[in-house]
């Protein structure tokens, strides 16, 4: 191959399109940050006078991250490229749970778990699913599952426990639509957690 042909070939490779944009990790540019919102349409009911603290959810290492997880099979976890939550997922969910309890208007003493605060009950969540599942579909379902234990203080006895789960389909395989589906699924789970916790405490 002469010098002219080699230069033309290299130019063609440089200018060749890289293909369709991928949501899978590619590296390079910093991620765009996304956040979720607390539940606001929590069912009403009598006020609760007990003091409640919400612990940071425990989770598997794959979900203990600020990266947005996706799954294409029951045995795989991956992460979206150039997209991340504004905080580590367990910390973000703890904050949203506290705000959801506040939005219920039914409990006046609610906060994050802290050694400096006294509580009648502590809610200990476990984040079991928080990923977008494809399962051979062009757009994913956001799958959220949170197990909770209600602990009576100060004897630290588990008085009740339950698992809450919801899924919501994304309207398109685009990050904005995927984040909206996470928001819908998480809202449903948080509404259920708030209702169940306050009913159990009462």
| Residue-wise pLDDT tens digits, 85-130 | 999 999 999 999 999 999 998 887 898 887 667 889 999 999 999 9
Long-range contacts of 59-62 (CB under 8 A, 24+ apart): 59/89, 59/90, 59/126, 59/127, 59/128, 59/130
In degrees and rounded to multiples of 5, residue 67 shows phi and psi of -75, 150
Contact call for residues 129 and 145 (beta carbons, < 8 A): yes
Cβ atoms of 146 and 194 within 8 Å: the answer is: no
Query: 88 and 64 in contact (C-beta within 8 Å)?
Result: yes
Let me know if 26 is exposed, middle or buried by CB neighbors in 10 A (0-12, 13-18, 19+). exposed
The residue among 104, 112, 108, 86 whose CA lies nearest residue 42 is 104
Contact 12, 82 (CB under 8 A): no
Sequence length of the chain is 202
CB–CB of 70/78 below 8 Å?
yes
Structural domains in the chain, CATH included, are: 52-201 (3.40.50.10610)
pLDDT at 184: 98
Q: Where are the beta strands (DSSP E) in 57-120?
A: 58-59, 67-71, 78-85, 110-112
- Beta-bridged to residue 25, according to DSSP, are none
Burial class of residue 119, CB neighbours in 10 A (0-12, 13-18, 19+): buried
- Residues sharing a CB contact under 8 Å with residue 91, sequence separation 6 or more, in sequence order: 56
Per-residue pLDDT, 27 = 54
Q: What is the pLDDT of residue 32?
A: 96
What's the DSSP call for residue 103?
H
Distance, first Cα to last Cα, the chain: 83
The rounded Cα 73 to chain-centroid distance in angstroms is 19
For the chain, list residues with pLDDT below 50: 1-22
């Amino acid at each position: 191959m002469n010098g002219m042909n080699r230069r033309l070939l290299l130019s063609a490779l440089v200018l060749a399109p890289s293909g369709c944009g991928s949501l899978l990790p590619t590296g390079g540019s910093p991620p765009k940050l996304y956040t979720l919102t607390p539940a606001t349409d929590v069912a009403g009911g009598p006020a609760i006078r007990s003091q409640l603290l919400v612990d940071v959810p425990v989770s598997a290492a794959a979900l203990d991250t600020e990266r947005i997880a996706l799954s294409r099979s029951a045995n795989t976890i991956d992460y979206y490229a150039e997209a991340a939550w504004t905080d580590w997922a367990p910390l973000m969910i703890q904050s949203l749970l506290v705000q959801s309890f506040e939005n219920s208007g039914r409990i006046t003493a609610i906060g994050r778990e802290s050694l400096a605060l006294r509580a009648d009950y502590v809610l200990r969540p476990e984040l079991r699913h928080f990923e977008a599942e494809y399962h051979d579909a062009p757009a994913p379902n956001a799958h959220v599952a949170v197990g909770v234990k209600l602990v009576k203080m100060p004897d630290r006895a588990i008085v009740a426990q339950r698992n809450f789960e919801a899924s919501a389909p994304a309207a398109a395989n685009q990050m904005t639509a995927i984040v909206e589906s996470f928001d819908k699924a998480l809202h449903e789970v948080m509404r259920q957690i708030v209702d169940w916790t306050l009913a159990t405490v009462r």
